[in-house]
Structure 1
């Protein structure tokens, strides 16, 4: 289901207003001032780095040559900016303390004239994806000419990170925080990549997402299924093509919600594992000689998650993000599976080495469960749960036939809905058709309200 083009345009306008505000406040000087508040010395230069999806970054250089990074979270790209920064600062501190993954050191964070910011140590290196991507393509995609030795080395490095993230366990699903006594807790909801996308590109009011953490995976998977309903219900434009399309999307969401509580039978009560929605070779910095990881950046949307997310095969093996995949998912698999086999070999090698040196136990292996995740459908279920924009394609191709048998007619699927869902479908369809004909956007927040989120 496409995002709302009018909402995208609004998001871009808000971002441009914010950029102009940043420029009016002399961002190089502002970055230097903020850096000096959190790291001693005299900053002499500040230079803007290439844009990420959610932040604008400046590298600040001191008189002695030391460098730090000042990162402003962009209005129009992130809805709950303050929550996002607080979550990321906490998770970076946790990962630094409890894993071997190299991350920037958080030197300080706060709010300034353009909103929330983080000051952190600067890590040298190029992104891993730069060594793997096809430079002739606009969309980031894996080069078909990449030497197999380099691909194996890259996959091994990524496997090490996934194993490290899979070790810590948590009693709840949600964001990680350290309380005043120094104890790490999970006090609130996870802020996810999908929640931000729905608020940004579908104009879903951010207030509709709950604030609580989750004590079991069944409740959380049901919440994710409900978010797909929010996507269909609240996105006014580009959501449906006609009445039949609307009915099919409504039915798919009802049936997915029906099965959502059964996804995590074996691990419903945890422990839950760290998961980063946006972990990708784009966010992994390596040196130029041996592709050794020098740092991992961009930890937004990282949280304690159902263990099924950790057990599913990585989605980034071709570098492409799900929204850029082939519409023919079978064709995607033709390209994906050979790379997945290579990744599994490297993951198994990494596991064997870590078990030998005592840093991993046999029970902590991921290769077996990841390998089976495509056979059992767990890969597709987790992906569909986290990506509303991909939900319909994945649901009808891989999930519906697995759980409800061979598809015959949409009316046969309608019979599987409960009485309330069947009663409500016609009114829901009429409401969506009316929204589509109006072609407008309902404003959920004023600019001032957005700034404060």
Structure 2
């Protein structure tokens, strides 16, 4: 799905308007957090944070020094009708992970008012400093190798825990308000769904694509032909890569787990927080067996124990890479990248 320049410009205009209004509303937001947490007007502004899909304000209690962050989805970064779903899914996933894993995720309050987590952006720590932020990000050669190895060992442990969270079917997870039991009953919301609707002009409703999609017929014939061939190449690989016989039950999978959504102590290289679980769903198990697409140096490994007879996660990752299934899975999750991959 090619990008739609009209949709992109409209999204950029909406985002600029929202950011302006968001900054102007800072005192009201601080007062709102103060009221929700019962701080008796002790709340004060600490700083702004801007992520890929959210704007956040950190607020501090000047008496107790407690710090929290309140987050808001950015309009048109997230499709308007899905903004509430995005927030709901993230709250549910973080709650589930706090109950079932040791992953460093924040405590939650109302309206995604969450615990303030210490640390620096892991993506910024990893990349080589450049004078231009638009430069291609590469690994900083000055990073201590031993500390970097420790980082990857932590990540391997987190991925191993996530790969063991099994469910019976593909959907978003939910929790029954009466029984407290976890289930998979909600429609999924994926990173790719949001991207093609927000930035490619693709309609969210069924069966309306051809009537509403803006034309891309101005593209050169060779580009159009290349897109056609890429999609047929992808379709022909479905019998080969579309199903792993021994993959087992479906797994909880985060579409957006990457260094820029992690916080790390730059001195000890301890990962202090994993953030942004809004595009986390129960997905085909083979997605959990791929190498992370952002991995810079080597395959993650783990010395953690595993259930008897279960294949090593590292072995599954190696098979995914060697067989080419990694690229098939990546294309199936990111429709915009099909042209580049195939």
TM above 0.5:
yes
Q: Is the 8 A contact 1:88 1:301 kept in 2?
A: yes
Contact 1:32 1:60 in 2 (8 A): no
Contact kept? 1:99, 1:164, Cα under 8 Å: yes
1:169 matched to 2:189:
no
Shift of 1:207: 2.4
Partner of 2:181: 183
Distance 1:17 1:85 in 2: 21
1:314-325 map, 5 Å? 314-318=292-296
Match of 1:203 among 192, 201, 204: 201
Q: Distance in 2 between matches of 1:49 and 1:140?
A: 24
Q: Secondary structure at the match of 2:110?
A: strand
Listed one character per residue, the Cα deviations across residues 279-326 of structure 1 (whole Å, up to 9, x for unaligned) are 0111121223321122111111011111111111110113xxxxxxxx
Q: How many pairs are equivalent? A: 335
- The one-character-per-residue Cα deviations of 1:427-451 (angstroms, maximum 9, x if unpaired) are xxxxxxxxxxxxxxxxxxxxxxxxx
1:274 equivalent in structure 2:
252
Q: 1:11: which partner in 2?
A: 11
Aligned pair partner of 1:296 in 268, 274, 289:
274
Q: For residues 32-431 of structure 1, what are the structure 2 equivalents within 5 Å?
A: 32-38=31-37, 40=39, 42-62=41-61, 63-79=63-79, 80-109=82-111, 118-136=112-130, 138=133, 139-180=136-177, 181-208=179-206, 236=214, 241-260=219-238, 263-267=241-245, 270-318=248-296, 339-340=297-298, 343-344=299-300, 347=301, 350=302, 352=303, 354-355=304-305, 361=308, 363=310, 365-395=312-342
Q: Is the contact between residue 46 and residue 59 of structure 2 (CA under 8 Å) also seen in structure 1?
A: yes
Whole-Å Cα distance in 2 between the matches of residues 240 and 263 of structure 1?
34
Deviation at 1:390, TM superposition (A): 1.4
Cα distance in 1, alignment partners of residues 147 and 213 from structure 2: 43
The C-alpha deviation readout for 1:256-280, integer Å capped at 9, x for no partner, is 3354365343349841111111101
**Residues of 2 paired with 1:391 and 1:133: CA distance?**
26
Q: Specify whether residues 132 and 23 from structure 1 end up closer, same or farther in structure 2 by C-alpha distance, changes over 3 A only.
A: closer
Inter-CA distance 240–296: structure 2 relative to 1 (3 Å threshold): farther
Unaligned runs of 5+ in 2: none
Contact 2:59 / 2:68 at 8 angstroms: preserved in 1? yes
- Check 1:41–1:186 CA distance in 2 against 1; reply closer, same or farther (3 A cut): farther
Question: What is the root-mean-square deviation of aligned Cα atoms in Å?
Answer: 2.6
Partners of 1:140 and 1:32 in 2: how far apart?
39
How far did 1:41 drift? 5.2
**Partners of 2:289 and 2:330 in 1: how far apart?**
12
- SS of residue paired to 2:205: helix
Scaled by the length of structure 1, the TM-score of the pair is 0.68
Residues 326-377 of structure 1, C-alpha deviations (whole Å, 9 max, x = no match): xxxxxxxxxxxxx22xx34xx1xx2x2x21xxx6655152101111212111
Higher helix share: 1
TM norm structure 2: 0.89
Unaligned runs of 5+ in 1: 110-117, 210-229, 319-338, 396-453
CA distance in 1, matches of 2:172, 2:38: 27
